Chain A
């Protein structure tokens, strides 16, 4: 009987002491959390993608509250988040919706290979060996490092091509960093883009890949807003001038301007 009482006393006593200790600790060591930070944090999408340049959504919320960051840095949240933030903090900001774009459209039947690569299943590894096995040294290697980097599953591999789902892509730019070839950039949503990065002259480019931009300047001539220029045998679209009429994509003989 005495043992039973001791047992209850010891376990109950230890529980009581620890409970008291914890509640005192919660009182004495409490850290006041800023109400503003929590309000801001509630507006953010919580993707923790790091596109804003801070350590996740919590870090960004703290930076905004401290006045060290703009409201419009959250790309996954886009205009909606920026508007909600400006409601809390005052002021008005606009966000241009951006999406990842792959400047390569080779498919495996169009691009010519120099040799067969059978190493690690990663673009970074394949790129180390003679800048990849394809003849075009600027081409997408198609092992999908960008797909692995994407936290929103916005990228897919179709016929050797990386395809971006623009409805899902929030433009966080993780794929841009993951690509060893630099064929992915962030561009304004809904505008045409050049799906090629080959800077060789027309004839050479054509031999390397039948989908390559040959620098024929047809797009340059057809564009009414002077938004396209051919530099280094490669068409470049200036998104500030482009109005999205898509005449260039219709005029391109190799079909490397896509929307």
Chain B
């Protein structure tokens, strides 16, 4: 049991990192990694939504879609559920947790149709995880997303200070830096089995 959890955690963080190996959630990765603070808040919000979305979609798949032989509907149903869930979460947070809403609220609409969140809910079934493993998987994928964003925010702050050739300024140098970080994560392949 413990080994499964550790290997899922390691996979989510390093070997199968959502952003750097699976290339899901590239849009927030490039969009919100300009500053450390925004990168951190965004990834916190993504992690929370990933775990909650998994907790909701797993029973839906296991107890509704699968018995009715409608597994092929999972993509469209999950999109519906996740979009509604994020909206619901935003309304509830606005009412009951004003400080959390103010720090994470602006990122929630961005997550509504985030492919990393949809990706993790679908991948849970491809891998055949049970409910508990799925939750751990979502958590580790969220933390992996956070790791990638925070590392990259640090790199971008350094890049902004350096002398970049005119033609590479802005997005081009960011994409080059992102590909190098992604390459370096390939080095983790094999860790955790």
Contact = CB atoms under 8 A, between A and B. Distances in A.
Interface of A: 3, 6-7, 10-11, 14-15, 18-19, 21-22, 25-26, 29-31, 120-122, 125, 148
A244 to B, nearest CB: 39
Contacts of B64: 10
Nearest to A125: B161
Given A7-B70, A18-B81, A25 B161 contact: no
A11 B73 contact: yes
A37 to B, nearest CB: 14
Contacts of B65: 10
Contacts of A3: 69-70
Contacts of A122: 161
Contacts of B162: 120-121
B92 A121 contact: no
B91 A10 contact: no
10 contacts: A6-B68, A10-B68, A10-B70, A14-B81, A18-B81, A21-B88, A25-B87, A26-B91, A29-B96, A120-B162
B94 A29 contact: yes
Interface residues of B, number: 22
A211 B65 CA distance: 79
B1 interface: no
B127 interface: no
Nearest to A58: B102
B77 interface: yes
Given A25-B88, A25-B91, A120 B73 contact: no
Contacts of B123: none
Given A6-B70, A29-B92, A29-B95, A21 B77 contact: no
Contact of B84 (A18, A30, A120): A18
A121 B76 contact: no
B95 A31 contact: yes
Contacts of A25: 87-88, 91-92
A121 B81 contact: no
Interface in B127-184: 160-163
Contacts of A6: 68, 70
What 5 A-B pairs are tightest by C-beta distance, nearest first?
A18-B84, A29-B95, A25-B91, A29-B91, A120-B161
B155 to A, nearest CB: 14
A62 to B, nearest CB: 11
B110 interface: no
Given A3-B69, A120-B161, A11 B76 contact: yes
Nearest to B84: A18
Contact of A10 (B73, B95, B160, B163): B73
B80 interface: yes
B88 A22 contact: yes
Given A7-B70, A21-B84, A14 B92 contact: no
A120 B159 CA distance: 10
Q: Which of A15, A25, A122 neighbours the largest number of chain B CB atoms within 10 Å of its CB?
A: A25
B170 to A, nearest CB: 13
Contacts of A31: 94-95
A204 to B, nearest CB: 33
A18 B161 CA distance: 47
A11 B80 CA distance: 9
Given A10-B73, A29-B95, A121 B68 contact: no
A18 B91 contact: no
Nearest to A143: B161
B78 to A, nearest CB: 10
